A and B are shown apart, each in its own frame.
Chain A
């Protein structure tokens, strides 16, 4: 048998980790801001290694890339609006602890449906009816794509993470199929600009409509989650399905209803992208927003108002990094590296909000 372990000397660990009580909100924000700053410094070091430029020049380039002129500001806000729209869409599902990583596919299906309407009904229906049909079709397509995994989750507790993930790729293949079917000129693999079924512009600004719609959605989602009975039910189901059953919430109904909403908003994002700004469809229309949105929503603690901040941060960095890549002749994937690093730092910083390190001061204590 084992000998008892009597090393004689007393070795104490340098520190140990304990869970914190709640800390004031300003302190937690201070930690988060500090983590973003730390991440920016790390990114700067990497950029300097890649470009051999001084860091100030690099940040200036970044700034210019993001907000350097009116066109870029508009483009920044357009990207912000679209990312925010998808983030808003996934949020009710996440609050319900339904891990919907299928937003990408739901956006694609929304875009696909509206593109089909634009192409097939473009010269058939009057303008107002055409636009109504485009919007309705996109929303319905997104909702259908989201509700399929929801029904299986509600009925058989089928793993939704993988289900929604696989639905993304089916959607992308469907889009690829239709892009080939409708490509102009035939066989080119591109649809090109679809001439009909464009959503109207406000004040002649091509992006303003999207921005206004998403702004309204943001406030609406905030109110829905915080003050509506539906929002309350979502929160209860997310915290504990057992509690939800106990107080008589129909959990299946809530899961399906919430995923319909989540998918509908993704579908709307697809409509805004295809019919509102791009006026075409490709298998890259969603552009990875479905995945980035998950991080945006989580970093904002599922609060729609905070999501404005987190999506701004990510879009700003992306735009800035792309500019750095262009100016210094780097590959555009540079942006993904920068985004990844920033997110690592922010999620890492949550540790310091939830836990603290305790150091023991052995000095002065009597030893026997």
Chain B
């Protein structure tokens, strides 16, 4: 039971981790991308569209599906979809210098709409009586875990039972942390987010860094959407099922103090809180709704504590939310 809770918490945490890692990377370049929830929807639905096209071409003989392609096609679709979303945001805020908050919110409206529109259209195409699309075969490939997991008891269940995207998410988070802290690119990126004018005067191409960080950040976030539908939800897309996880991912950025390494435990904690109501015996449905508040209440508490402590190391990038124009006077 406890092991199951941990396992499910990790599974819930992975999409959040992807969103948070993507947003940390983006925010380090000074872009506050509130479009992450929309981007995660687009990442998910793009993968579903790719998987749907591939899987439905094997109607009736699904056992012939090539595992490699079944993973590659949705993955590429997801990357392209979320990359395009990142490009829209980067173009509007970096090139056109549009207000970041409004652009982000519009991107979320657009992205959630995009996801539900294509989700709804696909559901209609399949003519299914259920309001969902099921890609069970594709999902099987995504869920493939190490065969030894089952032999290792609780340890295997908690740590080794996940699909490859979960490990990829953790590798990406750790990698982003190392990149930010130890490499030249990381130094330059942090400079862009702290003081773009300084970075510019030092010969760093501010626009290019902002574009790159935003687009790569979007792709990482989009992978979270893909993981959610292909692995967590066993290949079942239903509209609005992803819910508000994107916003939780943004909350985790602050919770983790802009450190991707800290985002890993934070995401798993939030993931656990998100589903803990299923594991408390003897409560009715309405009380469950109250317990679902936990991650939001926790975020607020952390926000308050951080603001009261107010340490220099815990501050967001100094130029976060501000667009840069070299010839500003």
Is the Cβ of A159 less than 8 Å from the Cβ of B307?
A: yes
Residues B102 and A294 in contact, CB atoms below 8 Å apart? yes
Question: How far, in whole Å, are A165 and B247 apart by their CA atoms in the complex?
Answer: 8
Choose, from A70-78, A134-142, A343-351, the stretch at the interface: A343-351
Shortest beta-carbon distance from B252 to chain A in Å: 10
Asked whether B120 is an interface residue with its Cβ less than 8 Å from the other chain, the reply is yes
What is the distance, in angstroms, from A207's C-beta to the closest C-beta of chain B? Answer: 25
Q: Which of A156, A178, A350 touches B98 (beta carbons < 8 Å)? A: A350
Q: Decide yes or no: A348 and B102 within 8 Å by CB, A156-B308, A162-B299, A330-B121 being known contacts.
A: no
B92 touches A348 (CB 8 A): yes
Q: Which residue of chain B lies nearest to A180 when distances are taken between CB atoms in the complex? A: B286
- Cβ of A166: which chain B residues have Cβ within 8 Å of it? 251, 296-297, 299-300, 303
| A19, B324: Cα distance in complex, Å | 12
With both chains docked as a complex, state the minimum distance between the C-beta of A4 and any C-beta of chain B, in angstroms: 15
Given B109, B286, B310, which contacts A340 in the complex, CB threshold below 8 Å?
B109
The 4 closest A-B pairs by CB, nearest first: A336-B113, A340-B110, A331-B120, A180-B286
* Secondary structure class of chain A's binding surface, majority of residues: helix
From A168-176, A239-247, A256-264, the one touching the partner chain is A168-176
A19–B297 contact, CB under 8 A? no
List, in ascending order, chain A residues with CB within 8 A of B110's CB. 336-337, 339-341, 343-344
Nearest opposing residue in chain B for A354, CB measure: B97
Q: Which residues of chain A have C-beta atoms less than 8 A from B287's C-beta?
A: 177
Sample of 17 more A-B contacts, CB < 8 Å, known A166-B296, A336-B112: A101-B105, A152-B303, A156-B310, A159-B303, A162-B254, A166-B303, A173-B296, A178-B286, A331-B116, A331-B121, A332-B120, A333-B113, A333-B116, A333-B239, A336-B114, A339-B110, A347-B103
8 Å CB contact of B250 from A162, A163, A174, A329: A162
A334 contacts B by Cβ under 8 Å: yes
CA distance A166 to B105 in the complex (A): 15
Q: Is B247 within 8 A of A169, CB to CB?
A: yes
Is B88 part of the contact surface with A, judged by Cβ < 8 Å?
Answer: yes
Is the Cβ of B102 less than 8 Å from the Cβ of A173? Answer: no
Number of B positions contacting A (CB below 8 A): 54
A-side contacts of B293, CB under 8 Å: 169-170, 173-174
Q: Complex: how many Å from CA A162 to CA B299?
A: 8
Check: B178 CB closer than 8 A to any chain A CB: no
Contact between B98 and A351, CB atoms less than 8 A apart: yes
- The answer to whether A340 and B308 have CB atoms under 8 Å apart is no
A100 to chain B, nearest CB (A): 11
- Residues from chain A with Cβ under 8 Å of B88 in the complex: 344
A163 touches B113 (CB 8 A): no
A33 to B111 CA separation, bound complex (whole angstroms): 25
Give Cα distance in the complex from A163 to B304, angstroms.
9
Spell out A's residues near B (CB within 8 Å): 17-19, 99, 101, 152, 156-159, 161-163, 165-167, 169-170, 173-174, 176-178, 180-181, 288, 291-292, 294-295, 298-299, 329-337, 339-341, 343-344, 347-348, 350-351, 354-355
Report yes or no: B254 in contact with A159, Cβ–Cβ below 8 A.
yes
Pair count A-B, CB < 8 A = 163
**B97 and A351 form a contact (CB under 8 A):** yes
B68 interface contact, C-beta 8 A: no
Q: A101, A340, A355: which has the most chain B beta carbons within 10 Å?
A: A340
Q: Is the CB of B116 within 8 A of A340?
A: no
A153 to chain B, nearest CB (A): 9
Among candidates A163, A294, A337, A355, residue contacting B105 with C-beta atoms closer than 8 Å: A294
A158-B103 in contact (CB<8A): no
Contact B327 A18 (CB under 8 A): yes
The interface residues of chain B, by DSSP majority, are classed as helix
Known: A333-B116, A336-B112, A337-B110. Contact between A152 and B102, CB under 8 A? Answer: no
Q: Report B's interface with A, CB cutoff 8 A.
A: 88, 92, 95-99, 101-103, 105-121, 124, 239, 244, 247, 250-251, 254, 285-287, 289-290, 292-293, 296-297, 299-300, 303-304, 307-308, 310, 325, 327-329
Chain A positions within 8 Å of B115 at CB level: 333
Q: Decide: B289 and A180 in contact? CB cutoff 8 A.
A: yes
Residues of the B chain whose Cβ atoms lie less than 8 Å from the Cβ of A152 = 303-304, 307
Q: How far apart are B143's CB and chain A's nearest CB, in angstroms? A: 28
Known: A17-B327, A173-B293, A343-B109. A331 touches B117 (CB 8 A): yes
Q: How far is the CB of A175 from chain B (nearest CB, A)?
A: 9
**In the complex, A34→B97 CA distance in Å?**
19
Expressed in whole angstroms, the Cα–Cα distance for A181 and B117 within the complex equals 33
Query: Among the listed A19, A162, A170, which residue makes an inter-chain contact with B328, where contact means beta carbons less than 8 Å apart?
Result: A19
28 contacts between A and B (CB under 8 A): A17-B325, A19-B325, A152-B307, A156-B308, A157-B310, A161-B101, A162-B303, A165-B251, A176-B289, A178-B286, A180-B289, A295-B106, A298-B99, A299-B102, A330-B121, A331-B118, A333-B117, A336-B109, A336-B112, A336-B117, A337-B114, A339-B109, A340-B110, A343-B106, A343-B110, A350-B99, A351-B95, A351-B98
Q: A19-B328, A330-B121 are in contact. Are A347 and B289 (CB under 8 A)?
A: no
Q: Is the CB of B105 within 8 A of A291?
A: yes
- Residue of A with least CB distance to B243: A169
CA distance A340 to B124 in the complex (A): 23
A residues in contact with B310, CB < 8 Å:
156-157
* A355-B97 contact, Cβ under 8 Å, with A19-B325, A19-B329: yes
Task: List A contacts of B112 (CB < 8 A).
Answer: 333, 336
Taken together as a complex, chains A and B put the C-alpha atoms of A173 and B115 apart, in Å, by 24
**What residues of A have a CB within 8 angstroms of the CB of B328 in the complex?**
19
In the complex, the answer to whether A347 meets B113 with C-beta atoms within 8 Å is: no
B303–A158 contact, CB under 8 A?
yes
Q: Which residues of B contact A295 (CB under 8 A)?
A: 102, 105-106, 109
Nearest Cβ on chain A to B105's Cβ, whole angstroms? 6
- Cβ contacts under 8 Å, A167 to chain B: 296, 300
State the CA gap A67–B322 with chains docked (Å).
40
Do B106 and A340 touch across chains, with their CB atoms under 8 A apart?
yes
Residue pair A163, B290 in contact (C-beta under 8 Å)? no
Cβ-closest chain A residue relative to B118: A331
**Chain B residue with the shortest CB-CB distance to A148:** B300
Task: Please measure, in the bound complex, the distance between the C-alpha atom of A288 and the C-alpha atom of B110, giving whole angstroms.
Answer: 13
CA distance A177 to B121 in the complex (A): 32
Distance (whole angstroms) from the CB of A176 to the closest CB of chain B: 4
Contact across chains for B120 and A333 when beta carbons are under 8 A apart: yes
Nearest neighbor of A149 in chain B, beta-carbon distance = B300
B285: nearest chain-A partner, CB-CB: A180
A331 to B120, CA, bound (A): 6
